[in-house]
Structure 1
Amino acid sequence: MKKIISYYLTVIMLVLMFGQAFVINSTTTYAKTNSWPTAPDLVGETAILIEPNSGTILYEKNSHKKMYPASITKIMTALLTIENCKMNEKVVYSKQNINSIQPGDANIGCQIGEEMTVKDCLYALMLSSANETARALAEHISGSCDAFAQLMNERAKQAGAKDTHFANPNGLHDPNHYVTAYDMAMIMKAAIKYPVFLDIIHTTEYTLPKNNKRKTPYPSYQRHKMIYSTSEYYDPDVVGGKTGYTDQAGKTLVTYAKRGDLDLISVVMKSKDEQTIFTDTRKLLDYGFNNFQYVNVSKNDTRFDSDTDTLLKSPFSTDIANIVIDSSANILVPKNTKVSDLDTTVTFKSEGDSFARITYKYGDKVLGTAKIKYLTSKSKNKESTESSTTVTTTTNNVKETVASQKQNTTKVNKKTSKSDNTNSNFKLILPILIVVIIIVVIILIFVMQRRKINRVRAMKRHRNR
C-alpha cells in the first residue's frame, strides 16, 4: 500500500510541475518585443549558418538545394581518413591515380610509387587541395575510389546529410556527385570534433618532407584566405575550412569560426568569384556573432520551477523526489530575447538520467533542448556538485548575460500590475487544488480498502466460530 501511495505521489508531483507550465502555455500569448534578426543579402546561390553544438540554424538560403561541391568534398575524405587511419601509416600513389590527373587539376606533383604518411597526405589534401592525394587516401582506405565513395555516402548519412551523393573523393565534376549546403554543414560538424582536423585547417603553411620519390621538401599553402593575417579577407574569428572551385560548381566555401564561447559553421555555394565568396562568409559570421548568444536554461526558465520538497513531502519516505532542468543545458537565442519569450514543448521519453526533454522554439525555429531530470534528495548534493563543474564550460560573458537578464526580470516583476499578480496566484492555486483533490481521493480509496479488509476478516472469524 505504501508503494502504491508513493507512486501516486510521484504522479502528483509531475502533474504539479508540468501542470503549471501547461497552464501558462495555454493561457498566455507571449508578446515578442524583438523579431528574428534581419539576415544579410548574399550573392551565393545557396548558403547556411549553423551553431554546431545545438544544431541551431541561424540562416538559410536554398540550403536543401542539390549543388556541385567541388573541393569541399575533401572535408569528407579527411574525416574518413582521420577515423580509419593512423597518422604514421604509409600511403602509396598508384599509376592509375597519377594518370587520372588532368592538366589544370589541383595537385602537388606526386609520382607513381611515391610514399607519404597519412599526416602529410592530410595537409596536402586540405591546404593544397591535391586531387591525387584524395584518390591515394581513398585507395589506401577502401582499395578503390568507387568503394570509398560508398563509404563516403554511408558516413554522410550518419552525419545527418539528407540529399547528398558522392561519386569520388576529390570533388572533380561528376553529374552524380552533389551535396546541399545543409548537408555540408552536417559533415563539417562531424569533422570539427577531431583536434587533428582543427590543427590542419588552421595551418597556413606546411612543408612536405622528402621521401622515396621527392628529393626536395615541398611547401603546401592554405587556400582559405580568411586565416591569413596579411589577407584583405582576414577574420580573427575564423579557425579554418575548405575552398572549392570547378566551372560547374562555381566558388564554394565551408568555414568554421569561433568567438568566445560561440561556434559557427557557414557554407556558401556557387558564388561567382573569390571576393564574393569570402565577403558572403564574413557577412554570415558577423550576423551570427553580433546577433546571438548562449543562455543557460535552468537559470532563466522559471516557468518550470516548482518547490516539490516543500509542497509534497511524502509521509512514507525520506527519499523525496525532485524535478529539475539540466543545469548544463544552454540554448542559442537572439540577443535581448528572454527564455520566457520562447515557445516550449515537452516530450516525455526516458534518456539515461532524464525522463523528458523541453524543446525551445522561436516561431518555427528550433533553438535547442534541455533535459528534465528526476532526482531523489540523496542525489541532489551530488547533482549540484556535478552541475557546478559542468557549468564551468560556459564563459564569463554568458554569466554576465544571465546576471543581466535576471536583473531585468526583477525590474519587470516589480512593475507587474495587481491583475498580473491575481493571474499568477490563480496559476499556482489551480494545480494545488488539483493535487488536494487527488490526495483526498487516494485517502478515501485507502480507507475503503481498509474497511473492506476488516469486513472480510470479521466474516472469517464469524465462520470459524
Structure 2
Amino acid sequence: MKRILSMVMMIVITVTSFGFCSYNSNSVVSADTVSWPSGPGLVAETAVMIDASTGSVLFDKKCHQKMYPASITKIMTALLTIENCNLDDTVTFSQSAIDTLEPEAANIGAVVGEEMSVKDCLYALMLQSANEVASALAEHVSGSIEEFAKLMNKRAKQAGANDAHFANACGLFNKKHYVTAYDMAKIMQAALQYPVFREIINSSSYTLPTDNKRKEPLTISQRHQMVQPWNSFHYDGIIGGKTGFVNESGTTLVTSAQRDGMTLITVVLNSPGTNSYVDTTALLDFGFKNFKLTNVSENDTRFENKSTFTNNFDSIFKTKLHRLSLSKDAVVVLPKDANFADTTSTITLNEDSSDDNNTVATISYSYGNHTIGTAPVLYSEVSNKISVNATVTPEESTTVDTETSVDSENSNNSSKVSDKDTTKKTTKKETVSKSHFKFSSAIFKIIIIAVILVILAVIIIFFKKKMDHLNAVRASKRRRNR
C-alpha cells in the first residue's frame, strides 16, 4: 500500500504541475541572487560549523581537507561505547591497554587488572582524556584495538564521515589515522543524540570512586575550557566537546552549544593554543547571530489546496483511511533575513517499503547552493469513523508543501486536552481532520480518468496496428491475384 501511495504521490505532483491544483506562486530564486552570511576569519587551518538538527553546513574553511585529529578521536570511542555497552558493565584493564600509554600522555593512572564501570570510564575518557581508558574500552567492546578500529571506520561511514580513517581509539599519531573537520562534526552530531553523552561532556568535574585497585577516590576536571564556569572562555549555552593535541595535529577542538532551540557544532583543526577557543567562540557567535531554524510544515505551502479541493475524499478503503503527511518535527536552517519562500526543493521516494518504515519519501530543501535540511513524508493509517460526506473548511485542514498536497494534522492533540467542555468543542474538528485524506476527490477523479484514457489509448493503438497489418496482407493478396 505504501508503495502504491508513493506512486500516487508522484502522479499528484505531475497533476499539480499542469494546473489542476492551485499553486502559491513563490518565485524560484537562483543561487546567484541569494545571500549567505560571511563568517569570521580564523587562525585554524581547517574548520566547519554545522547545525546539529539538520546537518547543514553554515561555515566552511577547507572542511574536507584530511587532518590528524589527536584526542578528539575519543568522541567516536565514546559513541561506540554508549551504543554497545551498558553503563554498569565492568571494564578490566589489560596489560596491552596500559602499554598504549606514551610518555606524558593523558591518563588516570590505571593499572593492570583494575576494574571500572563503563560509566566511570566514559567520564575519564571525555574529561581527563585518559588514553589507557580509551584502549581499555576498545578492548571491552571489540576484543582488541585493531577490531575496534574496524568498527570505528564502519560507524564513521554510517554517520556520514566518509573521509575519516581510524587506527586506534585514543588518537595517537598514525599516518593512517586521519579525519576532516566535516567528518568530526558528523561524528559529534551522532554522539549528541545520546543524553548520557551530553551529560558527560557538560560536566565540569567528576569523582572516580574507589575500586579493586584504587584505594582513594580521584576527582578529574574538564579539559574543555568553554565548559568550565570559572574560565574566561566559558560560553553561554555550552553543551561541551573534546580537546586534542599531538605535535603532528596541532591543537584540535570540537564544541557544541545551544541557544533558542538551535544546536551548533564547531570543529577547528590545527588552531594553535588558545586560538582554538577564540576561533570557536567567533564561529558560535556568528552562527547564533545570523541563522534561525524554520519549521517546514508551518511554512511550506507552495502546492497548497484551496477551498475548492478541501471536500473530504470518499474513501475506497472502507474502515481505514491511508494518509500521507509531512513530519511536524522537520526543520530547515536559514539566514535570519531569508524567507522560506526563497527555498527550492526536490523529492526522493523511499525504496524501503517495509511496514516498520513509515517514511515513503524525503523532501530536500536548498537555499541557493546551500543544503538546509530535509523533511520526511510519512505514511499512516487512521480509522474512518465518520460519514464520508463530511467536509473540512480551509481553517480546519492543514495542507503543507510536500509538492503532494498531503495532510500534516497531528492526530494526538485531543488526548492532551483535559477540560471536558474544550474537548467537546474540538472533538468534531479533530475527528474530521483525522479521517480526511488529503488527495481531494477532484484530483482522484482526474487520476482515474487519466488512467482509463491511457488504457483506452493502448487498446486503440493495439487494434489499429492489427488492422493495419491485416489491410497490408489483403492488399498484398490483391496485387498477387492481378
Q: If the length of structure 1 is used for normalisation, what is the TM-score?
A: 0.75
| Residue of structure 1 in register with 2:410 after alignment | 385
The count of corresponding residues between Structure 1 and Structure 2 is: 401
RMSD value, Cα: 3.9
- Gaps of at least 5 residues in structure 2 are 1-6, 385-396, 399-406, 416-441, 460-482
Please say if residues 48 and 57 of structure 2, whose CA atoms lie closer than 8 Å, have aligned partners that are also in contact. yes
| Residue of structure 1 in register with 2:347 after alignment | 346
| Residue of structure 1 in register with 2:265 after alignment | 265
Question: CA-to-partner distance for each residue in 1:369-426, whole Å, 9 max, x for gaps?
Answer: 2244678996789962337599xxxxxxxxxxxxxxxxxxxxxxxxxxxxxxxxxxxx
Question: CA-to-partner distance for each residue in 1:318-359, whole Å, 9 max, x for gaps?
Answer: 989887544432211111211111122233446655554332
Distance in 2 between residues matched to 1:330 and 1:170, nearest whole Å: 35
Is 1:330 aligned to residue 327 of structure 2? no
Q: Displacement of 1:293 after TM fit?
A: 1.0
Q: Displacement of 1:286 after TM fit?
A: 1.2
CA 1:443 to 1:376, structure 2 compared with 1: closer, same or farther past 3 Å? farther
Distance in 1 between residues matched to 2:283 and 2:136, nearest whole Å: 35
| Residue of structure 2 in register with 1:359 after alignment | 364
Correspondences of 1:276-315 after superposition (within 5 Å): 276-307=275-306, 310=309
CA 1:93 to 1:388, structure 2 compared with 1: closer, same or farther past 3 Å? same
SS in 1 for 2:411: helix
SS in 2 for 1:302: coil
| Residue of structure 2 in register with 1:145 after alignment | 145
SS in 2 for 1:267: strand
SS in 2 for 1:328: coil
Q: Displacement of 1:257 after TM fit?
A: 1.2
Distance in 2 between residues matched to 1:234 and 1:389, nearest whole Å: 44
Question: CA-to-partner distance for each residue in 1:64-101, whole Å, 9 max, x for gaps?
Answer: 11111000011111111112222222222222332332
Correspondences of 1:240-255 after superposition (within 5 Å): 240-255=240-255
SS in 2 for 1:141: helix
SS in 1 for 2:409: helix
Correspondences of 1:126-137 after superposition (within 5 Å): 126-137=126-137
Please say if residues 17 and 306 of structure 1, whose CA atoms lie closer than 8 Å, have aligned partners that are also in contact. no
Question: CA-to-partner distance for each residue in 1:89-142, whole Å, 9 max, x for gaps?
Answer: 222222233233222111111222222111111111110101111111112222
CA 1:247 to 1:16, structure 2 compared with 1: closer, same or farther past 3 Å? same
Correspondences of 1:412-423 after superposition (within 5 Å): none
Question: CA-to-partner distance for each residue in 1:32-81, whole Å, 9 max, x for gaps?
Answer: 98611111111111111111221111111111111110000111111111
Please say if residues 110 and 132 of structure 1, whose CA atoms lie closer than 8 Å, have aligned partners that are also in contact. yes
Q: After superposing the two structures, state which structure 1 stretch, 244-253 or 38-47, moved more.
A: 38-47
SS in 1 for 2:146: helix
| Residue of structure 2 in register with 1:46 after alignment | 46
| Residue of structure 1 in register with 2:180 after alignment | 180
Question: CA-to-partner distance for each residue in 1:208-261, whole Å, 9 max, x for gaps?
Answer: 112222222111110011011211101021111100001111000111211121
| Residue of structure 1 in register with 2:162 after alignment | 162
- AA of the residue aligned to 1:291: N
Q: Which has the higher helix share?
A: 1
Q: Displacement of 1:307 after TM fit?
A: 3.3
- AA of the residue aligned to 1:252: T
| Residue of structure 1 in register with 2:123 after alignment | 123
CA 1:353 to 1:227, structure 2 compared with 1: closer, same or farther past 3 Å? same
| Residue of structure 2 in register with 1:458 after alignment | none
Please say if residues 47 and 268 of structure 1, whose CA atoms lie closer than 8 Å, have aligned partners that are also in contact. yes
SS in 2 for 1:344: strand
Please say if residues 75 and 187 of structure 1, whose CA atoms lie closer than 8 Å, have aligned partners that are also in contact. yes
Distance in 2 between residues matched to 1:234 and 1:192, nearest whole Å: 20
Q: Displacement of 1:272 after TM fit?
A: 1.3
Please say if residues 208 and 217 of structure 1, whose CA atoms lie closer than 8 Å, have aligned partners that are also in contact. yes
Distance in 1 between residues matched to 2:450 and 2:88, nearest whole Å: 72
Q: Displacement of 1:282 after TM fit?
A: 0.9
- AA of the residue aligned to 2:97: N
SS in 2 for 1:357: strand
Please say if residues 37 and 291 of structure 1, whose CA atoms lie closer than 8 Å, have aligned partners that are also in contact. yes
SS in 2 for 1:75: helix
Q: Displacement of 1:443 after TM fit?
A: 8.6
Distance in 2 between residues matched to 1:173 and 1:10, nearest whole Å: 52
Question: CA-to-partner distance for each residue in 1:158-202, whole Å, 9 max, x for gaps?
Answer: 221111111111101111111111111111111111111111101
SS in 1 for 2:215: coil
Q: Displacement of 1:308 after TM fit?
A: 7.6
SS in 2 for 1:283: helix
Distance in 2 between residues matched to 1:31 and 1:162, nearest whole Å: 29
Distance in 1 between residues matched to 2:42 and 2:151, nearest whole Å: 33
CA 1:216 to 1:36, structure 2 compared with 1: closer, same or farther past 3 Å? same
Q: After superposing the two structures, state which structure 1 stretch, 254-263 or 325-334, moved more.
A: 325-334
Please say if residues 20 and 303 of structure 1, whose CA atoms lie closer than 8 Å, have aligned partners that are also in contact. no
CA 1:345 to 1:278, structure 2 compared with 1: closer, same or farther past 3 Å? same
CA 1:235 to 1:19, structure 2 compared with 1: closer, same or farther past 3 Å? farther
Q: After superposing the two structures, state which structure 1 stretch, 313-322 or 145-154, moved more.
A: 313-322
Distance in 2 between residues matched to 1:64 and 1:82, nearest whole Å: 27
Q: After superposing the two structures, state which structure 1 stretch, 48-57 or 65-74, moved more.
A: 48-57
- AA of the residue aligned to 2:367: Y
